[in-house]
Structure 1
């Protein structure tokens, strides 16, 4: 059976269906002449750019590898005489195609055009570059963490209203009433703003301050912190991944508007952008390493450091993480096996995260509105995700909950299953067993707490019935 007919029987996409950007081509998607033709068609298109070509090449590389496996499996099933020779020929042909695609990807990364650097002056008077962005075809990434700071004068109106009652004290006794508006007042004023924007406010004050601030307040449901006191009279707000997920629908627009219109000297100090790939269709640890070898993380100057930690070299199901850059740099990325991190040893769920910090760069407030564009701009190889789509929030929550719940049941069965069986056999009443084994107060393991929260306000509003 010919390779082309095998492609047809297996239902592999043609160029028209895989890349609707290109028309008038009905050939099967896995031959180098076709790949070369694809690039010939891209070149004269004035709307095309190098990122678009890199995205298509990466997509095609995935399709070729998939086709290679399916063709070899098909040859094995047929079991014809000489099938080993045929499989070797197919393997050699596909490997040759893959090598040529990799070579052109390498050249594409090498010649990747750098954007003009826009320099701005930060609050210290130093010149730093502004975070760049590149076109993205859709919602590829979401904001998964954000830290921002504002100046205390943002709440001068709140301060004035509270201190009006104390004016007579200052006039009669000379007592400095400014001291009556404390760090706690600033924190709770900020907490009210967060309650309106995100839907959660302050839960409690922590024993000690963090990040060199005098006082720190924990947000509800473990969604982040507010830090205040010192640090040039600034207030630092830290919203973690859970907070970004649990926050009211459209919090990015509301926070952006509040910072632009009401906050004094607002500054994003950190923002994390994330992309999820549930089936490893586009990214994997092997893909991450291959992109490093091809120069896919180089954006001018020396390439960033690259390291893999975990079971990549000796797989045991615990998962691996590829790190690009260093924690001290302004840009730091992680590509890791998210499902395995939660304990599902056979999970295909991958996640790519880019962490930007305002050390040697300026992060514009618009970054929270353009997560996908800033994510793609992180590294040339991230254009491989340009035709993918970030799963909707509900799907991420559901998948996380299922994996963590299944793991919780597995741990309970493995560690306590025999004890529970013995106790159940003794009492012959499941309600008694449950009363004995559970606390009187409803408390849940910390890992399960996020899945008992109400996410309804974080979802898009449903359509009104006609």
Structure 2
């Protein structure tokens, strides 16, 4: 395998054993802050997946908005000291030190239960949905000499602009592939952006810790076709910027349709008032926070530091 390419990790879940309930949430919060180098807060939950306790961790770098990045679960007699941590796609995009993640995972003998590795082709030059069926028939998705199952969803026989998805394999078998038109999924029906993503589970296999620092190598090993794709991907910051622009344009369009005429009337009225200022009109319409559609990308594109000493709103600090 070659240690090149721009495959990224877009989801990570792992478990570990031998810890008591005492302060596990505080320790994991320290890990996340070290990995992401971001201020974090946590909100206690009511357990998860048979665990007695849970905490959802949030990043709040932009306008004190809470954006979920990870969830921790632990406790319960049946778990026998086992703990579970899952970092979502937003959380993975914030991690700046994957070597540190691997080091901690190795030190606690963590068992990776899920990791998603992906390549983004923003220009659509190599990952083309039209070619997926032919690639499949040519054996380029074969694994161990066997041809996995496949299915399709989306605009394969229509042109509604929502995009297409090509699935290979099954989650219950430990390896599940999704190839989809990412730009169209985000709302730009003219976008050529495609993503090739493989979801790997620890079913009949041990997922090695070094996948965290060598995702391109493991992406190449997933299917024969992957070796030709690993070097076409864009760097993560470029894909985040593209995602932000598409999502922002989509929301701007919704705003124009729903409230454009109202804003026009308000501006005409304001122009007849002494001291007219369009910025004042914008301030009157603003509500602090983030649309869910922009929660991930705004953390990167529009990051601002919260006021000193200001806790994130709506998050329970007393339990984490």
Give the corresponding residue for 1:68: none
CA contact (8 A) 1:152 1:186 kept: no
Give the corresponding residue for 1:163: none
Map residues 112-131 of structure 1 onto 2, 5 A cutoff. none
Give the corresponding residue for 1:376: 220
Aligned to 1:255, which of 97, 101, 112? Answer: 101
Task: State the superposition RMSD in angstroms.
Answer: 2.3
Q: State the 1:200 CA deviation.
A: 4.1
Q: Normalised by the size of structure 2, how large is the TM-score?
A: 0.83
Structure ranking higher in strand proportion? 2
Q: State the 1:229 CA deviation.
A: 1.3
Structure number with the bigger relative contact order (C-alpha 8 A, sep ≥ 6) is 2
Aligned to 2:43, which of 205, 209, 217? Answer: 205
Give the corresponding residue for 1:130: none
CA contact (8 A) 1:271 1:355 kept: yes
Residue deviations 1:36-67 (CA, integer Å, cap 9, x gap): xxxxxxxxxxxxxxxxxxxxxxxxxxxxxxxx
Gaps of 5+ in 1: 1-134, 154-180, 458-466
Q: State the 1:152 CA deviation.
A: 3.9
CA distance in 1, matches of 2:118, 2:229: 12
CA distance in 1, matches of 2:21, 2:218: 38
Matched, 1:142 2:142: no
Q: Normalised by the size of structure 1, how large is the TM-score?
A: 0.58
Give the corresponding residue for 1:126: none
**Matched position secondary structure for 2:173:** coil
Residue deviations 1:318-369 (CA, integer Å, cap 9, x gap): 1111111123220001000111111111000000000100122110111212
Aligned to 2:237, which of 390, 394, 398? Answer: 394
CA distance in 1, matches of 2:269, 2:82: 61
CA contact (8 A) 1:246 1:455 kept: no
**Matched position secondary structure for 1:318:** coil
CA contact (8 A) 1:152 1:234 kept: yes
Matched, 1:338 2:182: yes
Give the corresponding residue for 1:315: 159
Give the corresponding residue for 1:427: 270
Residue deviations 1:282-333 (CA, integer Å, cap 9, x gap): 1111122211122221123542111110112112211111111123220001
CA distance in 1, matches of 2:224, 2:300: 38
Give the corresponding residue for 1:186: 24
CA distance in 1, matches of 2:127, 2:253: 28
**Matched position secondary structure for 1:346:** coil
User: For residues 233 and 456 of structure 1, do their structure 2 counterparts lie closer, same or farther at Cα, with a shift above 3 Å needed?
Assistant: farther
Residue deviations 1:243-282 (CA, integer Å, cap 9, x gap): 111112xx2111112222x31x311111110001111111
Give the corresponding residue for 2:133: 289
Q: State the 1:207 CA deviation.
A: 3.1
CA contact (8 A) 2:165 2:180 kept: yes
Give the corresponding residue for 1:298: 142
CA contact (8 A) 1:285 1:312 kept: no
CA distance in 2, matches of 1:453, 1:290: 39
What is the number of equivalent residue pairs in this alignment? 288
User: For residues 299 and 146 of structure 1, do their structure 2 counterparts lie closer, same or farther at Cα, with a shift above 3 Å needed?
Assistant: same
**Matched position secondary structure for 1:282:** coil
Determine which structure has more spread, i.e. the larger CA radius of gyration.
1
Structure ranking higher in helix proportion? 1
Q: State the 1:454 CA deviation.
A: 5.0
Matched, 1:214 2:52: yes
CA distance in 1, matches of 2:190, 2:218: 31
Map residues 76-155 of structure 1 onto 2, 5 A cutoff. 135-136=1-2, 138-153=4-19
CA distance in 2, matches of 1:194, 1:443: 23
CA distance in 1, matches of 2:301, 2:285: 29
CA contact (8 A) 1:333 1:355 kept: yes
